Structure 1
Amino acid sequence: MLWVLCVALLLGSGFILYKALAPFRRIWSGEAAAAAELPSQFGPVPARNYLAYLLWVTPAALAGTLVSLGLLLNLITGSWTGLAVIPRTGFVLFLVSLPLTLLHVLVSATNRPSFLVPPPYRDQPGAITAARNRRTPASPSSSSQPNPQLALSGAKQPPSHP
């Protein structure tokens, strides 16, 4: 019964790798705005931090693949002789993916380092800057905004002077 679980893990991690790597070229060239088709428990992955997402998802999925493959081969052969390196390599890849998860959070928050952000999205603000911009009230001197009280009263808007 354990072999069914191993095969399911092997196929599942391969599917995750395929789904994660498939839209990369379109995102890097600017053709795709978001990778909404990814199986992500946190929602769609924004295109601007997609490479940083791949940097931790790929080793984690490969780790699942190697551990599943090692367990499956152990069940088939009945021995760990010569096979123990496969799950160990998977465990090391999993450990490598943990700090890369923090890198993904950093790129999402600051949009830096810019070489990890696709070229069409490098001028966009990170999540921290975007949140700061949302909290900052608009300046009251901006005359390009229509006055809603004048619009309700039927009065004409004063002309804006640049």
Structure 2
Amino acid sequence: MVLQLNYPLRPPHVRIRHPAHQLRLAPPAAMSRLSPYILGPELYWLLVCLLVRIATKRGQPPTPAITSWLDDHWAWLPFILTPLTFLCLLLPDSNRWWLLLRIDVAILIGLFVATTLFVNGMTYHQPSSGPGAGSAYIAIPSLGYFLAFVATLITAAVFWWRSRHAA
């Protein structure tokens, strides 16, 4: 801020001039450093697990309608929600390889937790869900981890190709 005294023909007055760059409000430096970690794959899988918990109505026995809905929509976890994690690569970040590692770790942990919540909400200590209800522990993570592996290979190939042709 600059303090400037002007002495025109009229009585003197004090004017305070603000340069334009000093009037803009910038986010705090700590927030700009933390935003890539807050808006990342970890938050995405936390929201997925929260939605799975809400969808399974944890704490209540599943009704036949809920069990039927879960049987029909189990494929969302490995086939839709796992590849959507890679959309985090569209967020601005300087280190893409580090973000790719974070995505893979978030999928590894998040898919396991979401599958556990899904199966526990589906069975809820009732054998009425059938003997195949526990096979979701095998099917969902296996398919999800396979898709994550393929997507990681494709992403790594794209990163490598872009780094070779950047010059």
- Larger relative contact order, structure 1 or 2 (CA cutoff 8 Å, min sep 6): 2
TM-score (norm 1): 0.33
More helix by proportion, 1 or 2?
2
Larger radius of gyration: 2
TM-score (norm 2): 0.33
